[in-house]
A and B are shown apart, each in its own frame.
Chain A
Amino acid sequence: AQSVTQLDSHVSVSEGTPVLLRCNYSSSYSPSLFWYVQHPNKGLQLLLKYTSAATLVKGINGFEAEFKKSETSFHLTKPSAHMSDAAEYFCVVSANAGKSTFGDGTTLTVKP
C-alpha cells in the first residue's frame, strides 16, 4: 500500500521569498516520488522526480526536493518565488505495480 500526505492545502508567499511545499509518503516498497504542477485548466507538468539516485533532486524552474527516508518526506522548495509559480502542486508516489498515488494538492499563491 502507498499513500501521500501534502501537509498544507494552501501556501501563500510573497514574490521573491522562499517556497516550501511539504509532502510525506508511505510505501511498502522503495518508492519513486514526483512533484507535478498544474496551472488552471491545464494538464500536469513534471517538476522533478526521485528514483533512488541522489537524494537531492533538482527540477525545472528552480525547484528542488530532498528525499529523506528517515522522515518519509519529499518536500519541494524554491529559493525565490515568482508570480508565474502560482498554481496547484501535487506530490505523487509510485511503487507497487507502477500505480501512482496523488496527494490532495497544495495551492500556491504568490503575492506581489
Chain B
Amino acid sequence: GAVVSQHPSWVICKSGTSVKIECRSLDFQATTMFWYRQFPKQSLMLMATSNEGSKATYEQGVEKDKFLINHASLTLSTLTVTSAHPEDSSFYICSARASYEQYFGPGTRLTVT
C-alpha cells in the first residue's frame, strides 16, 4: 500500500514552453502533498506544500508564478513549470502525506533544451 506515482517519468521540452507533472496517490487519500527539486549530485530541496482545495505554500526563493501547483483532489497534485528555461532542468519529486508519514513518488526528470 501507500504508493505514489508520477507522470511523466521523463520529459524534454523546448525553452519557453510549459510542462505539467502529475503526482498521484494510488491507494490512499492525501490532503497534503509536497514538491521537491533535486539538482545533480545534490539533496532534495522542498519547493512547496500543496494542500487539497487551497493554495500551495511556497518555500522562500521559489517563484510561485513559475511553478504552478494545483491540488484539486485528494489523490492528485500537479506541478506546472511555466516558460521553462534550461536552468529549470532538474529531477522533480513529489510526496504525499498519510498518517504523519510521507511517501515519495519515483520522480520526473525534466530537461529543457
Contacts and interface: CB of A to CB of B under 8 A. Distances in A.
Interface of A: 32, 36, 41-44, 46, 49, 51, 90, 94, 97-105
Given A90-B44, A98-B32, A44 B104 contact: yes
B93 to A, nearest CB: 7
A30 to B, nearest CB: 11
A99 B45 CA distance: 11
B100 A32 contact: yes
B7 interface: no
Interface in B43-89: 43-46, 49
Contacts, number: 45
Contacts of A43: 93, 104-107
B106 A42 contact: yes
A102 B43 contact: yes
23 contacts: A32-B100, A41-B109, A42-B107, A43-B104, A44-B44, A44-B104, A44-B107, A46-B104, A49-B101, A51-B101, A90-B43, A90-B44, A94-B102, A98-B32, A98-B97, A98-B100, A99-B46, A100-B46, A102-B43, A102-B44, A102-B45, A103-B43, A104-B42
A99 B102 CA distance: 9
- Nearest 3 CB-CB pairs, A to B? A43-B106, A43-B107, A44-B104
Contacts of B49: 97, 99
B43 A100 contact: no
User: Which of B34, B49, B100, B101 counts the most A-chain CB atoms under 10 A from its CB?
Assistant: B101
Given A97-B49, A99-B34, A102-B43, 6 more contacts: A49-B101, A94-B100, A98-B100, A98-B102, A100-B34, A100-B102
